[in-house]
Amino acid sequence: MTRHRASAPDRGGRGRLLLRLQATLVGLLCFSAGAVPRLLPALLGVLALVAAIHVFTVDPKRPLMLLRTAFGIALAVFIAYLFINATWAPDREAGLAKAATVLGLAVGAFLIAASYALRTGDEARVLAISALAGLMLGAAFLLIEIIFDEPIVRFVSNHIVQLFDITPKKMKIEHGEVTKISAFVLNRNVTSLVLLLVPGLLFTLALAASRRRTGFVALLAITAISVLLSQSGTSVMAFFVGALVLGLAARSRKATRMLLVTGWTIAVLLAVPLGAVPYGLGWQHWKWLPPESVAARFYIWKYVADKIHETPIAGIGIRATRDLHLTIPADAGDPTETEGPLRGREARHPHNIFLQTWLELGAIGAILLLGVGLTGLWAIRAWPPILEASGYTLFAVCCAIGVSGFDLWQTWLLAALAIAWAAMLLAARLPALARPTAVGAGPLRPSGKAALPATIA
């Protein structure tokens, strides 16, 4: 009765207009994940505004209901600490601005999630199909860019608007035109696409039964090819970690949850000693590893771990790693070489969010981050079987990206995370996922196995 009463005011012309606008924005967001990730924060903000209009028209208390959950409280406490921590950051204004950005994105995500929770099954199908179409187009765009050396981006940069800072590291300029763009420039596109892959596959349940398998295979294939052809080792690792966890979840969701709880706890609490292990074992000297990416991370993790011992409790302040000006020492790399690509390289980013949390936020921030993850996993356990297994998969993908990701405070990355998790709640409103609970089957099955094949049936 409550759901019926809440949905009633949204059935008029304004409600249909908001639904169409929301569907358009959701499609643009998903397209931007593969095409222009830097637009994600702005588009998320616009979508949150539309969601706020919908929510406060239908059920103004719904966002507070989400905030009062264990996860909502844990996230709120973590964000509050970011503002406190920013007061002793080297650049206080930049730290406060970043904390405000995290708060804004979190509020936006909660408003969007609240709006999704108020949608009927048919309305959720409209939004999901729009999101799936945008994601497919974004993935196809990215694949074209990777295979044909970024023809679209080069054309836009040369004839419409300059998209990147003109630096030798990012692009090659001949006669005033961009002739080549470094492959790593697309890494953020690949990472965003990997983050949205799990909810995207769930959105295929919004299609007609005869088209679900085709949509599922097409999205998975385009994404897999894009990831494997890219230079984003982080995304490749996250892709395969997600596949592994999904396979495990298909066997036992309980075992998967326990594995993730254990892994998350170890990764957060023991990040400092673990971060120095690769360097201590000499992995940075393995010649078969890419020196400018993997080997460089082993050096950076070691020196970041050493710095953490100076301020272990409260950290040096949010967004302060770049102010340390850490550099890889002159003896890095092969000792028989007089010069190497790593020597003297500045390490302005920790390339590991767990180490970055300890360095910038200290033990206090690490414990609060641990609480955010654990409460999130606890909330996922109550989801319907397919959604629960998918939630664990997305959590594992996020962790894999965090292990070697560039920087925790990248606005586009935070926006992609917010969009991905909000999208999971949209998937929960699809009739194909909501039907088991509607007939009284309950959110969990006694066998503990997820009916994953149903997603492509």
Q: DSSP of 164-194, one letter per residue?
A: S---TTTEEEETTEEEEE-GGGGHHHHHHHH
Dump pLDDT digits (tens) for 265-284: 999 999 999 988 888 888 77
When pLDDT is averaged across residues 176-199 and rounded to a whole number, the result is 86
96 and 239 inside one domain: yes
* Whether residue 214 sits in one domain with residue 130: yes
Q: Which residues of 135-157 are buried (b: 16+ CB within 10 A; e: fewer)?
A: bbebbbbbbebbeeebeebbeeb
Q: Do 64 and 177 fall within a single domain?
A: no
Tell me, yes or no, whether 425 lies in a domain: yes
Residue 137 and residue 155 in one domain: no
What is the domain extent for residue 233?
2-148+182-274+351-439+452-456
% the chain with pLDDT above 90:
63
Q: What are phi and psi of 346, to 5 degrees?
A: -80, 135
Say yes or no: 153 and 203 in one domain. Answer: no
DSSP state, 360?
I
Domain boundary among 181, 204, 230: 181
Q: Average of pLDDT values for 346-350?
A: 72
Residue 379 lies in a domain: yes
Q: Which residues pair with 327 in a beta bridge?
A: 346
Q: Does 302 reside within a domain?
A: no
Q: Is residue 377 part of a domain?
A: yes
What's the pLDDT at 1? 38
Q: What is the pLDDT of residue 136?
A: 97
The count of other CB atoms within 10 Å of the CB of residue 163 is 15
| 72 and 154 belong to one structural domain | no
**For range 248-266, the mean pLDDT:** 97
Residues 125 and 41 in one domain: yes
**What one-letter code names the amino acid at 158?**
N
Q: Would you say residue 109 has pLDDT above 90?
A: yes
Same domain, 116 and 192: yes
The more confident residue out of 194 and 174 is 194
Query: How far apart, in whole angstroms, are the C-alpha atoms of residue 256 and residue 236?
Result: 21
Whether residue 92 is found in the same domain as residue 39: yes
311 inside domain: no
Question: Using an 8 Å Cβ cutoff, are 408 and 356 in contact?
Answer: yes
263 and 366 co-located in one domain:
yes
| pLDDT band with cut points at 50, 70 and 90 for residue 370 | very high
- Least confident window among 202-216, 321-335, 360-374: 321-335
53, 158: one domain: no
Residue 89 has pLDDT above 90, yes or no: yes
Count the domains in the chain. Answer: 2
The domain boundary, picked from 162, 181, 200, lies at 181
**DSSP state for residue 316 in the 8-state scheme:** S
**DSSP 8-class letter at 352:** -
Residue of higher predicted confidence among 10 and 305:
305
Contacts within 8 Å (CB) and 24+ apart, 101-107:
101/41, 101/409, 101/411, 101/414, 102/409, 102/414, 103/79, 104/45, 105/41, 105/44, 105/411, 105/414, 105/415, 105/418, 106/75, 106/79, 106/418, 107/48
Q: Which two tokens stand for residue 36?
A: 């222009």
314 domain-assigned: no
Residue 164 domain-assigned (yes or no): yes
Q: Within this chain, do residues 253 and 138 fall inside the same structural domain, yes or no?
A: yes
Write the Ramachandran bin of 448: left for phi over 0, alpha for psi from -120 to 50, otherwise beta. left
Question: What is the C-alpha separation between 89 and 411, in angstroms, rounded?
Answer: 18
* 187-221 burial code (b ≥16 CB/10 A, e <16): bbbbbbbbbbbbbbbbbbbbbeeeebeebbebbbe
Query: What count of other Cβ atoms lies within 10 Å of the Cβ of residue 182?
Result: 16
> 11-29 burial, b for 16+ CB within 10 Å, e for fewer?
eeeebeebbeebbebbbbb
CA torsion, ordered 70, 71, 75, 77, to nearest 10 deg = 10
Residue 363 lies in a domain: yes
Separation in Å, CA 214 to CA 406, 423, 452:
34, 21, 16
pTM: 0.88
User: Considering 158, 181, 204, which residue would you say is the last residue of a domain?
Assistant: 181
